[in-house]
């Protein structure tokens, strides 16, 4: 489904069509362990429903594991760089959105 409409609110992109908010961007992906490094622009919590979208990426999943410096955490804040276990392959610059 193409993302046609968006509203910029205080640096966050809110896609009104699906009621989702961008929470970060993938900066690296470790394919052997299926973990993405994500620079967060908004908080992310275990249990959040996310979408990962890019030119050749489009999937959704529930957040089951977040790590910082190889330590499991329950919540990550904007500005942090996290390790995020993903169900599928992601690519650098893919956007990570949280469903509201």
- Which CATH number, 2.20.25.570, 3.40.50.150, 3.20.20.210, 2.40.30.10, labels domain 21-99? 2.40.30.10
For the ranges 4-8, 12-16, 79-83, which has the lowest average pLDDT?
4-8
Q: Specify the pLDDT at position 17.
A: 54
Q: Specify the pLDDT at position 2.
A: 45
* Model confidence at 15: pLDDT above 90: no
- Burial class, 28, CB count within 10 angstroms (exposed 0-12 / middle 13-18 / buried 19+): middle
- In this structure, what are the phi and psi dihedrals at residue 75, rounded to the nearest 5 degrees? -145, 140
What is the mean predicted confidence (pLDDT) over 78-92? 97
Q: Specify the pLDDT at position 18.
A: 63
Q: Where are the domains of the chain?
A: 21-99
Each residue's pLDDT tens digit, 28-80: 999 999 999 999 999 999 999 999 999 999 999 999 999 999 999 999 999 99
């Amino acid at each position: 489904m193409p993302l046609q409409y968006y509203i910029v609110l205080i640096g966050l992109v809110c896609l009104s069509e699906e009621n989702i908010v961008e929470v970060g961007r993938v900066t690296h992906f470790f394919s052997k362990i299926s973990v993405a490094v994500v620079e967060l622009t908004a908080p992310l919590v275990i249990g959040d429903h996310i979408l990962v979208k890019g030119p050749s990426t489009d999937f959704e999943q529930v957040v089951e594991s977040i790590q910082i410096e190889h330590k499991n955490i329950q919540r990550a804040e904007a500005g942090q760089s996290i390790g995020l276990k993903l169900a599928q392959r992601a690519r650098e610059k893919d956007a990570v959105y949280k469903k509201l």
